[in-house]
Amino acid sequence: MLNNHSHFSLLDYYFTQGDELDWVMATIVNKEGSSYRSPGAIMLINSIGQSFGLVSGGCLEANIILHAKKVFDRKQAYYVEYDMREEGDYAAELGVGCKGKIGVLLQYLTAEHKSLLELLFQRMKSGVTSYLQHTYQAENEVRTQLNSLAMLDNKGQLLVSTHQQSGEFHCENKTQAIALGKPHSNAVTDKYELSLTKIFAPFNLWVFGGGSDVIPLVSMAAQLGWRVTVVDHRSSYARNSVFRQAVDIFRTHPDDFFKSENSEQVKIFQQLDAAVLMTHNLTLDAAWLKLLHSTNQAKYIGLLGPLERRSNVDTLSGIADRAWLARVVNGPVGFDIGGELPESIALSILAQCHSVLHNRSGLTLSGKFINS
């Protein structure tokens, strides 16, 4: 299953605020049984007590912030386990609903950590998969290794490490985990216990159209940790001051999109996972749909408007591949939740898109029909 831990949005915030404060990163490095978040989930805490991200359903975060204060004071990593399987355990007193056990490693972020995370962030922007390796248990003489962090490429080759020793870990479990593409694995060496987490690039959503109704869609998608790009050639649309949560805003017409001067945006376009057509213009929507078909990259395409409008866009696009249109294009877009405001429409669209990207049915978890 895809690790979707919002590293992209959290790191983006860290790099805009990181120089002003000291930071601790809390990471789930192992688990047994059930938990709200899976290994690899991170939480950032700064030196004035603010926290960003979650490693549980909100029940452990206050306690983790208390532990973070120790890390700030000592500038040393700290490992803590929360065992919710025992009735009398301390974690149970926190009101935790899950019946599992998780281990959380809190690390003091140094300049070396920031450099490593900057490289991870750039690799995520480029659509590249990486692995993060943590040491969460170590013998007393090498306890400093708990603050180490290493990054590997998708073949297991070391790219960068905050501690020189981190590149010396070789064990069969780790090699097999990378070869099999596992999202997470734990490994044991003579002196260390390691956590290895696969970090995927964020979902890459392109929104064609930069009107006011697009604002909540971009904002919500960014909150999900997705990389959002807005495209609109019209001068009064897609203003930078309005779409601050978009990673890129491209002002280009579909007829000019593949010109040589647009090579960088074409590269990002070829990495997209999903697109939503919201230009409110039949000709523009059809032109962008034709370009999306030419790359055949999108797993999900949403198209605003009723069935009649969809039929008109399909016809104007000139796409003869009816099977592709039926399989990929969702129009009218979204789930039927009874919304007409931009915020509720955005919620409807993203819920549908989210279910497709995660290979889920979009049905109720209870298996029952709502309001039936």
**pLDDT: is 122 or 98 the higher one?**
122
Distance of CA 246 to the CA centre of its chain: 14
**The token pair that represents 257 in the structure block:** 């999109």
**High-pLDDT (> 70) share of the chain, %:** 90
End-to-end CA distance of the chain: 32
**pLDDT: is 86 or 351 the higher one?**
351
- In this predicted model, what pLDDT tens digit does every residue of 303-312 receive, in sequence order? 999 999 999 9
Q: How many alpha carbons fall within 13 Å on the CB side of residue 107? A: 28
**pLDDT: is 337 or 17 the higher one?**
337
**The token pair that represents 289 in the structure block:** 């749909």
Separation of alpha carbons 184 and 3, rounded Å: 9
Q: Is the pLDDT of residue 96 over 80?
A: no
**pLDDT: is 255 or 33 the higher one?**
255
Give the pLDDT band of residue 145 (cuts 50, 70, 90).
confident
SS3 content of the chain, % helix, strand, coil (to 5): 40, 25, 40
Q: Are 201 and 128 in contact (CB under 8 A)?
A: yes
Q: Per-residue pLDDT averaged across 160-168, rounded? A: 69
Q: pLDDT value at position 110?
A: 95
For the ranges 14-23, 88-97, 290-299, which has the lowest average pLDDT?
88-97
Q: Per-residue pLDDT averaged across 143-147, rounded? A: 81
Q: Per-residue pLDDT averaged across 182-200, rounded? A: 87
Q: pLDDT value at position 16?
A: 85
Give the pLDDT band of residue 292 (cuts 50, 70, 90).
very high
Architecture (CATH level 2) of domain 204-357: 3-Layer(aba) Sandwich (3.40)
3-state secondary structure of 123: helix
Q: Which of 62-71, 95-104, 137-146, 159-168 reaches the highest mean pLDDT?
A: 62-71
Q: Per-residue pLDDT averaged across 239-267, rounded? A: 92
Bridge partners, 134 (sequence order): 149, 195
Q: Are 264 and 282 in contact (CB under 8 A)?
A: no
Bridge partners, 132 (sequence order): 151, 197
Q: Is the pLDDT of residue 167 over 50?
A: no
Q: How many alpha carbons fall within 13 Å on the CB side of residue 315? A: 7
Q: Is the pLDDT of residue 1 over 50?
A: no
The per-type count for the chain, helices as H runs and strands as E runs, is: 11, 16
At residue 358's C-alpha, the angle toward residues 81 and 84, to 5°, is 20
pTM beyond 0.75: the answer is yes
Neighbour count for residue 254 (Cβ, 10 Å): 20
Q: Which of 26-35, 48-57, 160-169, 282-291 reaches the highest mean pLDDT?
A: 282-291
**The token pair that represents 355 in the structure block:** 């279910």
Q: Is the pLDDT of residue 172 over 60?
A: no
Q: Are 148 and 221 in contact (CB under 8 A)?
A: no
Q: Is the pLDDT of residue 94 over 90?
A: no
HEC letters along 290-322 = HHHHHHCCCCEEEECCCHHHHHHHHHHHCCCCH
User: What are the residues whose beta carbons fall under 8 Å from the beta carbon of 46, sequence distance 6 or more?
Assistant: 17, 21, 22, 23, 24
Q: Are 81 and 101 in contact (CB under 8 A)?
A: yes
Distance of CA 184 to the CA centre of its chain: 16
Q: Per-residue pLDDT averaged across 79-83, rounded? A: 91
Distance of CA 75 to the CA centre of its chain: 28
Measuring CA to CA, which residue among 1, 6, 56, 49 is closest to residue 24? Answer: 49
Separation of alpha carbons 225 and 7, rounded Å: 7
Domain with CATH 3.40.50.720 in the chain: 204-357
Q: What is the mean pLDDT of the chain?
A: 88
Give the pLDDT band of residue 181 (cuts 50, 70, 90).
confident
Bridge partners, 274 (sequence order): 205, 300
